Structure 1
Amino acid sequence: MDIYRSCSHYFTFEMLFHCGETWQRIQCPNLPEQNDSWLAYRELATHILDPLVYMFGPPSLTYGFCGALLRKTILANPSPGIAPTLDQHSACELNKQGRLVCPRQGAAIDLIYPRKNSYQIALWLAQHTPFDRLYLYGPKQSRRHSRPPKRCSTRLPTFPSSTRPASWPINSYPTACSIPTIHCCCTNALLRNYRRCCVSTWGRLANSMVT
């Protein structure tokens, strides 16, 4: 596939594969080898990132797809702070043994909105998009690749897809960590179910309008 090809209304594959501090520094080859990885990032861009841009404007992407060479470079750091077998940034890629790097598959993206409240954005994502896991990292993480958050005076919420909040009072937004990184990931199966749900819902709505 062409890396400069549009994968959604607002994004190209290049924007999702060539982002983050480490890649910007070394600019190594970082393309998926598996077709399913390309498809997973296309689905993430279409069903999660596009609605986000439409609602809040373009985010700053801090960590997208992580191929073998980029992963090796990050893991060479004394404190790499990534979990390739869990974080879904490897999408559907295989290791040298022919096994999935991350058995969860799907795709993941880390992003920030420097001038917006990340907690409000996380709540909107939780209510309107088919994510698999949604994490908020501490404010220093906006400069590093998906590193675990250091201890912070504010408890950071995590939303698994099965426990999406219906509401979050405005006075409960933490302020000590004002610009946390948002890590959002989704599995292929979740997106397939979401598409079926959307089609089914629209079908019921159309029928009700006719009748």
Structure 2
Amino acid sequence: MSVSYSFKYLTLETFCTCSQTYQKYRDRINPYPENLEETLPALIALNERILDPTIEQFGFENFQLTYGFCSKDLKRFLERKDPETGKKNGRVAPRLDQHMACERNRNGAYYCPRLGAACDFRILNVGSDRVVDWILEAQLPFDSLYFYGSDRPIHVSYSSQSKQDLWTFTATGQPTRKGIENWMKILDQRRSPV
């Protein structure tokens, strides 16, 4: 099944097919949402509120989407081990990361009760720390933002909750706020009533 939709700068196809795991197993994965009524508006909101302003700031030619929407099929392949390397194809945390947007399991429950939508991206030739600086300065209404390092993509989500939850990670992958105290100060000031 192919679903055609264009956001301002990106297409739904790009959003659903950009991951390395999809590229590797494309002939066996349906990358598109099944719950279009809820998932498409969540993806539109993520693009309009977070990605469009970021692309306008840094330029479309510098924007690289590395992981967008995660379909049920893609989730299954991410959880599997590569038969050649024996390593998992990727990491997936559907209850937390919002990559599955508003998709539902066979029992009708949302994979991610937080709803909204998420993606990972980087800006070529710009450190991800500088991108986070700009996102905070521009006061983009993100829900969650994960900083993995200056030379790695950032994860950002948007939902109506706009929790402004910001994390970085230790070398072993544990979430922490160590090292991002300045960013946390900015968020705390924004949250405090004047």
**What TM-score results when the alignment is normalised by the length of structure 1?**
0.66
Q: Does 1:72 align with 2:76?
A: yes
Partner of 1:60: 64
Q: Does 1:100 align with 2:110?
A: yes
Counterpart Cα distance in 2 of 1:113 and 1:186: 19
Secondary structure of 2:137's counterpart equals: helix
Aligned length: 151
Letter in 1 for 2:4: Y
How far off its partner does 1:52 sit?
Answer: 0.6
Q: Does 1:130 align with 2:120?
A: no
How far off its partner does 1:189 sit?
Answer: 4.3
Partner of 2:5: 5
Counterpart Cα distance in 2 of 1:53 and 1:67: 24
Letter in 1 for 2:99: H
After superposition, the C-alpha distances for 1:71-92 in whole angstroms (9 at most, x for unaligned) are 0000013444221110000100
Which runs of 5 or more structure 2 residues have no equivalent in the other structure? 82-86, 164-194
Secondary structure of 1:188's counterpart equals: coil
Counterpart Cα distance in 1 of 2:4 and 2:46: 17
After superposition, the C-alpha distances for 1:117-141 in whole angstroms (9 at most, x for unaligned) are 2111111112321101111114xxx
Residue pair 2:45, 2:158 contacting (<8 A) in 1 also: no
* C-alpha RMSD over aligned residues: 2.0
Residue pair 1:3, 1:12 contacting (<8 A) in 2 also: no
Q: State the identity as a percent.
A: 36
**Higher RCO by CA contacts (8 Å cutoff, separation 6 or greater):** 1
Letter in 2 for 1:29: N
Partner of 1:44: 46
Residue pair 1:109, 1:185 contacting (<8 A) in 2 also: yes
Larger Rg over CA atoms: 1
Residue pair 2:102, 2:112 contacting (<8 A) in 1 also: yes
Residue pair 1:113, 1:179 contacting (<8 A) in 2 also: no
Residue pair 2:46, 2:159 contacting (<8 A) in 1 also: no
Runs of 4+ in 1 over 3 A off after TM superposition: 188-191
Q: Bigger CA drift: 100-109 or 115-124?
A: 115-124
Which runs of 5 or more structure 1 residues have no equivalent in the other structure? 139-177, 192-211
* Higher normalized strand content (fraction of residues): 2
Residue pair 2:33, 2:103 contacting (<8 A) in 1 also: yes
Alignment of 1:151-170 (within 5 A): none
Counterpart Cα distance in 1 of 2:146 and 2:56: 21
